[in-house]
Amino acid sequence: MPDVSPELLRDAVLGHFRTSAIKAAVELDVFTAIAEGAEDAAAIGKRTGAAERGIQALADYLTVMGFLEKTGGRYKLTPSSAVFLDRRSPAFLGDIHRFLAAPEILRLTLTDPAGFVRNGGSVGLANTAPNDPVWIDFARYMAPFMAPTAQAAAAHFAGRKPAPGRILDIAAGHGLFGIAFARQFPAAEVTALDWDSVLAVARENAAAAGLGSRFKTLHGSAFDVALGGPYDIVLMPNFLHHFDEATCVGPLVKARAALAADGCMAIVEFVPNEDLVSPPMPAMFAYVMLSSTPAGTAFPPSALNRMLAAAGFREPEYLPLLPTPQTLIVSQPA
Amino acid sequence: MPDVSPELLRDAVLGHFRTSAIKAAVELDVFTAIAEGAEDAAAIGKRTGAAERGIQALADYLTVMGFLEKTGGRYKLTPSSAVFLDRRSPAFLGDIHRFLAAPEILRLTLTDPAGFVRNGGSVGLANTAPNDPVWIDFARYMAPFMAPTAQAAAAHFAGRKPAPGRILDIAAGHGLFGIAFARQFPAAEVTALDWDSVLAVARENAAAAGLGSRFKTLHGSAFDVALGGPYDIVLMPNFLHHFDEATCVGPLVKARAALAADGCMAIVEFVPNEDLVSPPMPAMFAYVMLSSTPAGTAFPPSALNRMLAAAGFREPEYLPLLPTPQTLIVSQPA
């Protein structure tokens, strides 16, 4: 790109075509068809039930974007597409579009972006409305994407003595964080807290993981429900970013009260640097929250430190959950 | 990015946030506010009438995307943003989002992408419907983006002897191609053909260019209207890609019949290489047409050669309109 060029502008304005193409490709299982041996547009079309000219334009654009390689009219998957976009792969992630580009999310993102910027957050509760069904999509379709994050978080606690006996998973969603901790500590009992409609997904995942009676649920809002306890670990994964700093203190105070004296708070968040513009994913996540919540954001360490101190916690440790873009924040009661 | 990573997938699925942010920034004139001296989120918010926290998240994301630079809480424009996104700049292009990400285009792109791929084109006429108002948005908001392309196309004809006297601009839209040729040849008369609603925009642009009575209009569809003639040059800018190859032959035959014996056809298109996956913009444009027309595409030279031969033209010359991603295709009657 030359020094002065409209390309960046043009590509950003056309961003919705990227969303569109990946949605179409995953829904039609184009990547799976190619992995199964359909090599050209005619064969992929036959296998997916789509018109050859539709597949041609789609597969060429997927090649331009870097999802496919094309040689002499034949397409093949890149190594990343083979791992994450072939539906038969254990690491298949294609269905994240069913949450990240769900009709409700697209509506919030695109209908009036100047409106939510002007307003400093979504007009209305958006995705923070009680029992918003978008969280069922989240629990169902984002689980495979979050699994490596949950495993990395649990791995940070490996060897903890004494082994935690009771674990609370606040805003559990798919339940994968609690489930990863239950696997790490085979004697532990996990209580997953979320809307009842969402807990149905967590229960399925816990059953599939064979947790049996070690998995309990508590339904409702983390702001309202009595948490019980004492717990040895309270997990709060991807919860705080939906609210402003002052609002976050309330659930943290409740969590602290539900912790054993030697218990431990384990928060998972997108944590941008203090410059708020790096790394890219945690930094852009503040805009995602601006579009979909009245007051949420991606908190840098200074803000997380302040809210934890206000809730009676010690200064936390920040542990990057590599290779994911998220960070584990561990803190003990002061 | 490591060799195997879900980053490409995640960024593509989140493509709609790029569209959203640039739309918000241009509508609120954030770039202009920064160019006028508002440096931090508070000052930009004050100048644009937006909440500081909304501007904070937006400007940080714009920095992540490369539109802004941020140092110690202060934002400044990159050289490209200063040229193309400050509304006071003569090369301002920000309003292209009003066409490329218009509500109607977003609806076509995102509502059911698997549907138009399966169907091999839009279900229904989409943007090829007679008098579709989206073409008024096109004419109004894409003109500044197309101006360098029109100027480069006209420049290719500089010094042509004898100087063309009559020029027809088929599907003129904003009229900029005909206007650029009228400027190149001060004695030439230009006839712009398009829907009458769209010609209103072309007439405004021709008046602003001071063409006076040298600018004529002809309203209706290039498929139906009697073209008149003979013309020395027939322009057909960004028209053929809306139709399939067979359909394109009809208007080309009509254009040939309207040309003087030593006349010349001047087509402007996105022309991908025969591999259909390079260069990026012409290649991805086939997907844009898939989403918004029943049978349109981006034609490689082999297809353009075939349709021109079928319409009675000689093998054309392909002239890249650098630095734009478009190509001028010049052909004489056989």
Cβ neighbours for B245, distance < 8 A, ≥ 6 positions apart: B299, B303, B306, B307
Of B10, B63, B97, the CB nearest to A13: B97
Q: Which of A14, A27, A29 to mutate to test the interface with B (most CBs of B within 10 A)?
A: A14
- Nearest residue of B to residue A83, measured between CA atoms: B4
Residue B2 pLDDT level (bands cut at 50, 70, 90) = low
Please tell me the predicted confidence (pLDDT) of residue A2. Answer: 58
How many Cα neighbours within 13 Å face the side chain of A70? 22
Helix B196-208, helix B176-184: angle, nearest 10: 30
Collapsing DSSP to helix, strand or coil, A27 comes out as helix
Please tell me the predicted confidence (pLDDT) of residue B3. Answer: 81
CA B243 – CA A167 distance, rounded (Å):
61
CA distance A20 to chain B (A): 5
Asked if B28 and A85 come within 8 Å (Cβ–Cβ), the reply is no
CA distance B7 to chain A (A): 9
Please report which residue ranges of chain B form alpha helices under DSSP H.
7-13, 15-27, 30-35, 41-48, 52-65, 79-84, 97-100, 103-110, 113-119, 134-141, 143-155, 176-184, 196-208, 245-258, 280-292, 301-310
Asked if A101 and B13 come within 8 Å (Cβ–Cβ), the reply is yes
What type of residue sits at position B157?
F
CA B130 – CA B221 distance, rounded (Å):
8
What number is the average pLDDT over the span B13-32? 98
Taking the alpha carbons of A66, A72, A73, A77 in that order, is the dihedral positive or negative? negative
Q: What angle do CA B159, B163, B169 make, to 5 degrees?
A: 105
Q: Which residues of A touch B290 (CB under 8 A)?
A: 53-54, 57-58
CA A231 – CA A164 distance, rounded (Å):
8
Of B5, B120, B297, the CB nearest to A51: B120
- pLDDT per position as a tens digit, B260-280: 999 999 999 999 999 999 999
Cβ neighbours for B107, distance < 8 A, ≥ 6 positions apart: none
Cβ neighbours for B204, distance < 8 A, ≥ 6 positions apart: none
According to DSSP, the β-strands at B68-71 and B74-77 are antiparallel
Closest C-alpha to B131, from B202, B191, B199, B190: B199
Q: Which residues of A touch B110 (CB under 8 A)?
A: 16, 19-20, 23, 101, 106, 110
Query: In angstroms, how far is CA A94 from the centroid of its own chain?
Result: 13
Closest C-alpha to B146, from B279, B263, B240, B238: B238
Q: What angle do CA A13, B291, B281 make, to 5 degrees?
A: 50
For A263, the token pair is 């218990």
Q: Which residues of B touch A276 (CB under 8 A)?
A: 56, 60, 70
Count of helix runs (H) and strand runs (E) in chain B: 16, 9
Helix B52-65, helix B41-48: angle, nearest 10: 110
Q: Which residues of A touch B242 (CB under 8 A)?
A: none
Q: Does B228 touch chain A (CB under 8 A)?
A: no
Please answer whether residues B303 and B329 qualify as being in contact, where contact means their C-beta atoms are separated by less than 8 angstroms: no
Asked if B64 and A288 come within 8 Å (Cβ–Cβ), the reply is no
Q: What is the 3-state secondary structure (H, E, C) of A203-245?
A: HHHHHHCCCHHHEEEEECCCCCCCCCCCEEEEEEECCHHHCCH
How many Cα neighbours within 13 Å face the side chain of A257? 9
- Nearest residue of B to residue A63, measured between CA atoms: B277
Please tell me the predicted confidence (pLDDT) of residue B126. Answer: 84
Q: Which residues of B touch A12 (CB under 8 A)?
A: 18-19, 21-22, 65, 67
For A171, the token pair is 């805003």
Computed on alpha carbons and rounded to an integer, the radius of gyration of chain B in Å comes to 22
Collapsing DSSP to helix, strand or coil, B105 comes out as helix
What type of residue sits at position A140?
R
Other residues' Cβ atoms within 10 Å of the Cβ of residue A219: 13
Of B16, B28, B65, the CB nearest to A19: B16
Asked if B54 and A12 come within 8 Å (Cβ–Cβ), the reply is no
- Nearest residue of A to residue B61, measured between CA atoms: A284
Note which residues in 275-334 of chain B have CB less than 8 A from chain A.
275-278, 280-281, 283-284, 286-291, 295, 297, 323
Closest C-alpha to A169, from A268, A270, A248: A268
For B329, the token pair is 């295709």
Of A17, A54, A288, the CB nearest to B120: A54
Of B3, B55, B114, the CB nearest to A79: B3
Taking the alpha carbons of B100, B105, B106, B110 in that order, is the dihedral positive or negative? negative
For A214, the token pair is 């070690």
What number is the average pLDDT over the span B317-334? 97
Please tell me the predicted confidence (pLDDT) of residue B152. Answer: 97
Q: Which residues of A touch B113 (CB under 8 A)?
A: 20-21, 23-24, 27
For B206, the token pair is 């021709």
CA B32 – CA B30 distance, rounded (Å):
5
Asked if A110 and B19 come within 8 Å (Cβ–Cβ), the reply is yes
Asked if A4 and B117 come within 8 Å (Cβ–Cβ), the reply is no
What number is the average pLDDT over the span B172-178? 97
DSSP B259: E
User: How many CB pairs lie under 8 A apart between chains A and B?
Assistant: 295
Cβ neighbours for B185, distance < 8 A, ≥ 6 positions apart: B157, B160, B163, B164, B167
CA A158 – CA A148 distance, rounded (Å):
15
What number is the average pLDDT over the span B197-222? 96
CA B237 – CA B74 distance, rounded (Å):
43
Closest C-alpha to A174, from A212, A216, A146: A146
Residue carrying structure tokens 């379709």: A141
Please answer whether residues B294 and B124 qualify as being in contact, where contact means their C-beta atoms are separated by less than 8 angstroms: yes
- Nearest residue of A to residue B66, measured between CA atoms: A8
Residue B127 pLDDT level (bands cut at 50, 70, 90) = confident
Cβ neighbours for A207, distance < 8 A, ≥ 6 positions apart: A215
CA distance A333 to chain B (A): 31
Of B63, B113, B278, the CB nearest to A20: B113
Q: Which run of H or of E encompasses B221? A: none
Residue carrying structure tokens 């049978």: B295
Other residues' Cβ atoms within 10 Å of the Cβ of residue A90: 6
Q: Does A87 touch chain B (CB under 8 A)?
A: no
Question: pTM for this structure?
Answer: 0.96
Q: Which residues of chain A have pLDDT under 50?
A: 1
Asked if A22 and B13 come within 8 Å (Cβ–Cβ), the reply is yes
Mean pLDDT for chain B overall: 96
Answer yes or no: is pLDDT of B79 > 70.
yes
DSSP B294: S
- Nearest residue of A to residue B73, measured between CA atoms: A275
- Nearest residue of B to residue A297, measured between CA atoms: B57
